[in-house]
Amino acid sequence: MNDEIEKCIHFIKVRHSVDVSKYEISFLEKVIQIRMNALTIETRKDYLLFLESEPAESTEIMDQLSNSYSEFFRNPLTFIYLEQTILPILIHQKMKNNEKGIRIWSAACASGQEAYSLAILFDELVESKKETIDCHIFATDINADELDKARRGVYQATAVNKVSLKRIKTYFTQQGENYIVAPHLGKYIDFSMFDLLSGQYNCPPASIYGNFDLVFCTNLLFYYKPSYRQRIIDKASKCLAPGGYLITGEAEGGMVKENNYREVFINSGIFQKR
């Protein structure tokens, strides 16, 4: 590891009591380079001096590392399979077995776009089929500011680039340059703070007992070193209901397959235990 990177890790741990060594070195290097470019600093040595002299800069680094970027229907192929196959199957099974409803965990939900996308899919399905079944989406993140944004449900136009015009008209209200999520989608979602790497709980306390039909760990795993990545996968696996689905980003499938999962549809990022 580069000496300056090690010093940055140590400095942030001392100042904020946060261990950022859990992240892949390549990700740390990328974030530091982004900050160097923004500040027009040419060398890591000079950046380290700046980091030590400017208290606000370490907060900037931590904000970048939180990787809060998201958008609605981010992985289109995944959502197509969810809409056309997975959710209809789950709804049919629940109705047939007289079960209360579908339970979903959106882990590392950032500012809520993934959770609201799932709520839209479910709302459309129950409306079209006139089914009487519940859906409870537990959306968690470690960042309180992002969760506040999620609860407000106000997004810039760039966040809805992958949302169809029909859905925008049905589920959003435009206010200036922003789009506000329809209030009734909130009935499906419980936003709460949860640390995926904490050893205290396997499942979000808000969910009480886990047993999720779907667990989303999308575009998250590849930011962490293998040991931390494994901890997240293990936690998600313990929370899945029998026959449940683990959903990841398109580039993370290999990490999940190593844990005895099979991909339900090729390149879908949707997995079940073998």
What is the residue-wise DSSP string for 102-153?
A: EEEEETT-TTSHHHHHHHHHHHHHHHHHT---EEEEEEEES-HHHHHHHHHT
Residue 196 and residue 194: Cα distance in Å, rounded?
6
Q: Per-residue pLDDT for the chain (274 aa), expressed as one digit of tens each?
A: 578 888 888 888 888 888 889 999 999 999 999 999 999 999 999 999 998 888 888 888 888 887 677 889 999 999 999 999 999 999 999 999 988 899 999 999 999 999 999 999 999 998 887 778 899 999 999 989 999 999 999 999 989 999 999 999 999 999 999 999 999 999 999 999 999 998 888 999 999 999 999 999 998 998 999 999 999 999 999 999 999 999 998 889 889 999 999 999 999 999 999 8
CATH code for residues 76-273: 3.40.50.150
Residue 196 and residue 127: Cα distance in Å, rounded?
34
Return the number of other C-beta atoms located less than 10 Å from residue 243's C-beta: 11
Position 88, amino acid: P
Residue extents of the structural domains in the chain: 3-65, 76-273
Q: Between helices 44-53 and 55-65, what is the axis angle to 10°? A: 110
